[in-house]
Homo-oligomer: A and B are copies of this chain.
Amino acid sequence: MDIRPRDDAARWQQKAYSIIFESDTPAGRAFDIGLLAAIVLSVLAVMLESVRSIAAEYGHFLRAVEWFFTGLFIIEYLMRLLVVRRPLAYALSLLGIIDFLAIVPTLATLLLAGSRYLMVIRTLRLLRVFRIFKLGRFVGEGEFIVNALKASRFKILVFLAAVVSLAVVVGTLMYVVEGGQNGFTSIPKSIYWAIVTLTTVGYGDISPVTFLGQTLASVLMIMGYAIIAVPTGIVSAQMAMPAAPAAPPAPAYKQVVCHVCQADGHRPEAEFCWRCGEKL
């Protein structure tokens, strides 16, 4: 009942709009779930094809699958353009660009082999599908995390800047200390090592050999071990906060997206899009 396609829309366009862009009808929901499956399957096909032994045996089949889904996505993209009120606004919106990029890589292989793998950008299309879950508890929880991170973003940026500076200084010191040997063959490589160490990843592809180097590395490790407390403390403190004046329990959103700018998250009683002001 919230379908608002083009003003001059034919019946089929109204119907298609409701199916493709919304998820509060059985058909719309089925479409979203089918889309989810198609995205996952097409990404899986590309992944499997990258495994040499599988490619040798099922290469043709997997490539067919890939083209099949690319075909589907092209049709879907064209449909979206057709039923939306302002096709250009859609094409230039974030989700519209992602939809477009999802079909380009396969087509591009006709010109340039290997570009196929860029298709992994399709994973980003899952963002669109997450709208399905908007109905469940996941929205609130996801928003809680995102909000805590947003509120802490300046603190986290300052922290990251400090970490990177530390890695630059220690990395260069190590280059001098280890004398350009034992894997520390250049300053950028030594900085890479410092980041590997500071974050406690520790591949071991490069590791200090001299006594002085190992001592310096030990100091860096202990710092990395203690420093992790900072972002953790920031986020913990943010999340433990009394949540301001106890935000009202996240209103159920209207299950409609704006047919112009594709924004969602409208209040149940909303008559107009909160982003572009278009009538919903």
Contact = CB atoms under 8 A, between A and B. Distances in A.
A172 B120 contact: yes
Interface stretch (A23-31, A62-70, A90-98, A223-231): A223-231
Given A158-B145, A187-B47, A188-B47, A207 B200 contact: no
A244 interface: no
Interface residues of A, number: 83
Interface stretch (A74-82, A234-242, A258-266): A234-242
A138 B156 contact: no
Interface stretch (A13-21, A163-171, A247-255, A270-278): A163-171
A28 to B, nearest CB: 22
Interface in A139-174: 140-142, 144-145, 148-149, 154-160, 163-165, 168-169, 172-173
A109 interface: no
A145 to B, nearest CB: 6
Contact of A145 (B47, B159, B173): B159
A62 to B, nearest CB: 12
A12 interface: no
23 contacts: A43-B168, A50-B180, A51-B186, A51-B187, A117-B172, A117-B176, A123-B165, A137-B154, A138-B154, A141-B158, A145-B155, A148-B233, A156-B226, A189-B214, A195-B218, A195-B222, A199-B200, A202-B202, A203-B204, A204-B205, A232-B232, A236-B236, A240-B241
Given A145-B230, A229-B234, A236-B236, 11 more contacts: A50-B175, A50-B188, A51-B186, A114-B176, A120-B168, A120-B187, A123-B165, A200-B225, A201-B224, A203-B204, A226-B231
Interface of A: 43, 46-48, 50-52, 114, 117-118, 120, 123-124, 126, 137-138, 140-142, 144-145, 148-149, 154-160, 163-165, 168-169, 172-173, 175-176, 180, 185-189, 191-192, 195-205, 207, 211, 214-215, 217-218, 221-222, 224-226, 228-241
10 tightest A-B CB contacts, nearest first? A233-B235, A201-B202, A203-B204, A237-B239, A120-B172, A199-B225, A204-B204, A236-B236, A229-B231, A50-B187
